[in-house]
Amino acid sequence: MPSVRQSWVASANGHADFPLQNLPFGVFRRAGTSETPRVGVAIGDDILDIPACVAAELFKAFGDDVQHAARACVSPSLNALMGLGAASRRALRDALTALLASDVDENARQIEQYALVAQSSAELFLPVEVGDYTDFYASVHHATNVGSMFRPDNPLLPNYKWVPIGYHGRASSLVVSGTPIARPSGQRKGPNDAEPTVGPSRLFDYELELGAFVGTGNALGTTIGIADAESHLWGYCLLNDWSARDLQAWEYQPLGPFLAKNFASTIGAWVVTPEALEPFRAPLAPRAEGDPAPLPYLTDEGDRARGGLALTVEAWLRTTRMREAREPAVRVSTGSSLDLYWSFAQMLAHHASNGCNMRPGDLLGSGTISGPEKGSRGCMLELTWRGAEPLELPNGERRGFLEAGDELTITAFAERDGAVRIGFGRCTGQVIG
Amino acid sequence: MPSVRQSWVASANGHADFPLQNLPFGVFRRAGTSETPRVGVAIGDDILDIPACVAAELFKAFGDDVQHAARACVSPSLNALMGLGAASRRALRDALTALLASDVDENARQIEQYALVAQSSAELFLPVEVGDYTDFYASVHHATNVGSMFRPDNPLLPNYKWVPIGYHGRASSLVVSGTPIARPSGQRKGPNDAEPTVGPSRLFDYELELGAFVGTGNALGTTIGIADAESHLWGYCLLNDWSARDLQAWEYQPLGPFLAKNFASTIGAWVVTPEALEPFRAPLAPRAEGDPAPLPYLTDEGDRARGGLALTVEAWLRTTRMREAREPAVRVSTGSSLDLYWSFAQMLAHHASNGCNMRPGDLLGSGTISGPEKGSRGCMLELTWRGAEPLELPNGERRGFLEAGDELTITAFAERDGAVRIGFGRCTGQVIG
């Protein structure tokens, strides 16, 4: 393994999520204060306070572009920085790397004193003010599994392998990791019920997803070509699209999911950049025999040659009894972003192909990431086949769906020989009521 | 007819849309200037510039609440004013009425000189910065007609008369009346095509809708009771949910419409208040024999007793040839908001029933307003039965769907004996390409 660049922030070296090679962006303040939230990057167990570095004029040595980008971090959201685009992000990231690397540690003492905040004493906020949130359905395994439960005779619809299927989600109810999630009430009607009844969802679920944020957008009436699409994706996050399956089954025809989803979606606090993920590109799962080639506006041979996002994604469950017994969360699934049928670049190019305008900070969700094996299914609906095969937890508890007090956590990481492992932190939420 | 309060703005008296009794809110500036857009109300052929009245201290006589509301109008959107809620709107409206009424015209000379802008010399903007836009499907006639084309064996789904069906629309592509509408390209696949092709929509349509804006919202995890729902609705607008029917047919399963709709939706520039509409309440169309009673969370007997929004809604078409021949637009349909199966109060109570949070300025669309008669169908898809029965225009042209150059305009008005007619102005867009 080649020698790895180290940080003078000791906790970063060997950190499972946040080594010097990651530097994900987030919005934070010191917990228990009324400070204005602001942009920082995670480094080891700490956060580098970018506005504090601006105030200390630490970016002066890096030129105008970097200073401009750093000033955009004096903000309670990443939107302004995202709107500056990819070149600006790369320049700022290079400067942050230089400030934090152990080989150029001239400012270390000053940063440590004035611009480093322990994550354990920080409050993290929604990193982005999302104008529009679109959720896709990019896992063919998820689509096939769910389809076979909702439409046994017609699991995968004929449009699936042509169209990156997506729908608009609710932006107002996006919350940051750690926010408790109230189980929604709504109309449910079983196949044998004469009429619907109203009450708390009994089939309460999570969906393990990744999200991508738009950087520079496009004007209404213009498109984003597939070859350019990746450069418009500013960064990636963890996403849990909580779902009330009983509400969904009754309401979703003909216009799609609505109250079954829009009561809350949780996103992770850290936005990981394409630069941090670049070393982990890997070949995408090959298309199945007989699958159509994507239409030209969705075809980028270069994209396929470069490979796709190679992230291992995991879901962890901890019940109230486990928490009381101080037992750790149990992993309920492990999947891979390489199993997605459509890439984020394809989702974005499709989304803008009709002239729909994207704004900085708009969020695209992958949809539930499920793989071909049972252990890689990204939601309870699939894992337990709608409750028919409940999960058996180590303490003897069983779960068909999530119950009150359950804490569900999503994680993601990238690792490979010759590169330093990076991760996304945690995207967690406890079910209330 | 009782004597009618007049305005000293002469053009207001007898105005088809904007008499003293209406006073709809909008956002404007003098055309051709770089003035900051700001809030005003339409009065006759003019706009009352509320920030100019604030600067002239004309609200001082009306007390703190009115002054607070008027200061919220020093803004390029109505959001701040909407967030102050219904009591604030009523107080400001009363003050504006007093300023504009001919019986208390002490400030007329000053207002005329400094705070009245001719609509003909004003530029109108999107009146609201919409956080989330939700479109419903509240016309049972529309749902039945469309259902019988998309699903001949199953036109009205079993959930329709229980659930106010809705879906999330795209906020970024909301545009104000007058904005040209680029016909979108996308995937189309006819039933006899082996594969989809990509190209401009051939079945390009409008949808005649009304929109309602949320005033005070609700916190995530709380609900809005049906009895309170109406007080959360700040005002109403015209809405055209442009639709590419060929894209829609191919993409909409299983997650609903997406690229078929999100390239643009046009809203009228004027937001009409509940107070202006109050005199026109009328009994709702009775539910059909055998229809289920709405579930308790959607039942407000008081609401039903008070009656519903009684608006006549119309769609007007003008082709390029008609424009070149200086022929006026032709009315292609006339409907009524009383034919909606679900009220806006029911839509809002349903939307928040799962704890989904609403923010000031969020937009709810009614969905296409169609009535039981052919002449009251609110989109080309229904009017021409998917093109099978084209419209015959007075100049001999025929239209199955909209074509390049066509200008589609939506209007709405309320009138009844004993009240002064009010209207919404125009919601118009020309199809480009």
Q: Interface pTM (ipTM) of the complex? A: 0.96
Question: Are residues B53 and B158 part of one domain?
Answer: no
| Enzyme catalytic residues of A | 142
What distance in Å separates residue A159's CA from the closest CA in chain B?
A: 7
- The DSSP result for A141-204, as a single string, is HHHHHHHHHH-TT--S-TTTTTS--EEE--STTEEETT--EEPPEEEE--TT-SS-EEEE-SSE
pLDDT at B290: 92
pLDDT at A1: 45
pLDDT at A304: 67
Q: Is residue B286 part of a domain?
A: yes
Optimal mutation site among B146, B245, B255, B432, interface A, most CBs of chain A within 10 A: B255
Q: What is the pLDDT of residues B198-247, one digit of tens each?
A: 999 999 999 999 999 999 999 999 999 999 999 999 999 999 999 999 99
A173-182 average pLDDT score = 98
Question: Are residues B220 and B140 part of one domain?
Answer: yes
pLDDT at B68: 98
Is A358 close to B198, i.e. CB distance below 8 A?
no
CB pairs under 8 A between A and B: 184
A166 vs B159, B255, B359: nearest CB? B255
B193-202 average pLDDT score = 97
Give CA–CA dist B339/A294, Å, rounded: 44
Alpha carbon A397 to its chain's center = 29
Contacts with B221 from chain A: Cβ below 8 Å = 182, 263
The answer, yes or no, to whether residue A277 has pLDDT greater than 70, is yes
Q: Which chain A residue has its CA at the smallest distance from B194's CA?
A: A158
Contacts with B184 from chain A: Cβ below 8 Å = 354-355
Domain finish residue from B59, B94, B125: B125
Contacts with B186 from chain A: Cβ below 8 Å = 353-354
Question: Are residues B280 and B178 part of one domain?
Answer: yes
CATH of the domain at A286: 3.90.850.10
Q: Is residue B5 part of a domain?
A: no
Report, in angstroms and rounded to the nearest whole number, the Rg of chain A calculated over CA atoms: 22
Q: What is the pLDDT of residues A205-261, one digit of tens each?
A: 999 999 999 999 999 999 999 999 999 999 999 999 999 999 999 999 999 999 999
Q: Is residue A415 part of a domain?
A: yes
Question: Are residues A151 and A43 part of one domain?
Answer: no
What distance in Å separates residue A204's CA from the closest CA in chain B?
A: 13
Is B236 known to sit in a ligand binding site? no
Mean pLDDT (chain A) is 95
pLDDT at B303: 67
Number of domains, chain B: 2
B121-147 average pLDDT score = 97
Is B355 close to A170, i.e. CB distance below 8 A?
no
CATH of the domain at A66: 2.30.30.230
The answer, yes or no, to whether residue B304 has pLDDT greater than 70, is no
pLDDT at B45: 98
Is B151 known to sit in a ligand binding site? yes
pLDDT at A303: 67
Contacts with A258 from chain B: Cβ below 8 Å = 165-168
What distance in Å separates residue A261's CA from the closest CA in chain B?
A: 9
Burial of residue A2, with CB atoms counted within 10 A of its CB: 0-12 exposed, 13-18 middle, 19 or more buried: exposed
Is A263 close to B354, i.e. CB distance below 8 A?
yes
The answer, yes or no, to whether residue B1 has pLDDT greater than 60, is no
Q: What is the pLDDT of residues B247-272, one digit of tens each?
A: 999 999 999 999 999 999 999 999 99
- Per cent of chain B over pLDDT 90 is 91
Q: Is residue A316 part of a domain?
A: yes
Structure tokens at A260: 């079954």
In which band, very low, low, confident or very high, does the pLDDT at B285 lie, cut at 50, 70 and 90?
confident
Q: Which chain B residue has its CA at the smallest distance from A358's CA?
A: B172
In which band, very low, low, confident or very high, does the pLDDT at A276 lie, cut at 50, 70 and 90?
very high
Evaluated on CA atoms B101, B107, B111, B112, the torsion sign reads: positive
What distance in Å separates residue A372's CA from the closest CA in chain B?
A: 21
Q: Is residue A4 part of a domain?
A: no
Give CA–CA dist A375/A372, Å, rounded: 9
Give CA–CA dist A131/B171, Å, rounded: 7
Is A172 close to B296, i.e. CB distance below 8 A?
no
| Enzyme catalytic residues of B | 142
In which band, very low, low, confident or very high, does the pLDDT at A64 lie, cut at 50, 70 and 90?
very high
The answer, yes or no, to whether residue A126 has pLDDT greater than 60, is yes
A355 vs B166, B263, B354: nearest CB? B263
Question: Are residues B101 and B59 part of one domain?
Answer: yes
Question: Are residues A157 and A118 part of one domain?
Answer: no
- The DSSP result for A16-80, as a single string, is SS--TTT--EEEEEETTS-PPPEEEEEETTEEEEHHHHHHTTTTGGG-HHHHHHHHTTSSSSSHH
Is B263 close to A171, i.e. CB distance below 8 A?
no
Q: What is the pLDDT of residues A315-373, one digit of tens each?
A: 999 999 999 999 999 999 999 999 999 999 999 999 999 999 999 999 999 999 999 99
Q: Is residue B308 part of a domain?
A: yes
Question: Are residues A45 and A165 part of one domain?
Answer: no
Contacts with A365 from chain B: Cβ below 8 Å = none
Contacts with B295 from chain A: Cβ below 8 Å = 187, 196, 198
Optimal mutation site among B168, B193, B216, B248, interface A, most CBs of chain A within 10 A: B168
The answer, yes or no, to whether residue B2 has pLDDT greater than 70, is no
- Per cent of chain B over pLDDT 70 is 99
pLDDT at B106: 83
Q: % helix / strand / coil in chain A, to the nearest 5?
A: 25, 25, 45
Q: Is residue B280 part of a domain?
A: yes
Domain finish residue from A78, A106, A125: A125
What distance in Å separates residue A271's CA from the closest CA in chain B?
A: 22
Contacts with A137 from chain B: Cβ below 8 Å = 255
Burial of residue A197, with CB atoms counted within 10 A of its CB: 0-12 exposed, 13-18 middle, 19 or more buried: exposed
In which band, very low, low, confident or very high, does the pLDDT at B105 lie, cut at 50, 70 and 90?
confident
Residue B213: phi and psi, rounded to 5, are -100, 140
B119-133 average pLDDT score = 98
A259 vs B187, B353, B357: nearest CB? B353
Mean pLDDT (chain B) is 95
Q: To which residue do tokens 């239409």 refer?
A: A295
Question: Are residues B173 and B37 part of one domain?
Answer: no
**CA angle in degrees (0–180, nearest 5) for B9-B11-B14:** 115
Domain finish residue from A92, A125, A158: A125
Question: Are residues A137 and A119 part of one domain?
Answer: no
Q: Which chain A residue has its CA at the smallest distance from B147's CA?
A: A254
Is A354 close to B163, i.e. CB distance below 8 A?
no
Give CA–CA dist B373/B370, Å, rounded: 8
Is B354 close to A244, i.e. CB distance below 8 A?
yes
Question: Are residues A154 and A19 part of one domain?
Answer: no
Question: Are residues B140 and B67 part of one domain?
Answer: no
Contacts within 8 Å (CB) and 24+ apart, A320-329: A320/A404, A320/A405, A320/A406, A321/A395, A321/A397, A322/A393, A322/A395, A322/A397, A323/A405, A323/A407, A325/A395, A327/A394, A327/A395, A329/A407, A329/A409
What distance in Å separates residue B112's CA from the closest CA in chain A?
A: 38
A134-146 average pLDDT score = 96
Question: Are residues A176 and A79 part of one domain?
Answer: no
B166 vs A250, A255, A356: nearest CB? A255
Q: Is residue B3 part of a domain?
A: no
Contacts with B247 from chain A: Cβ below 8 Å = 354
Is B195 close to A163, i.e. CB distance below 8 A?
no
Supply the range of the domain harboring residue B84: 10-125
Optimal mutation site among B137, B163, B432, interface A, most CBs of chain A within 10 A: B163
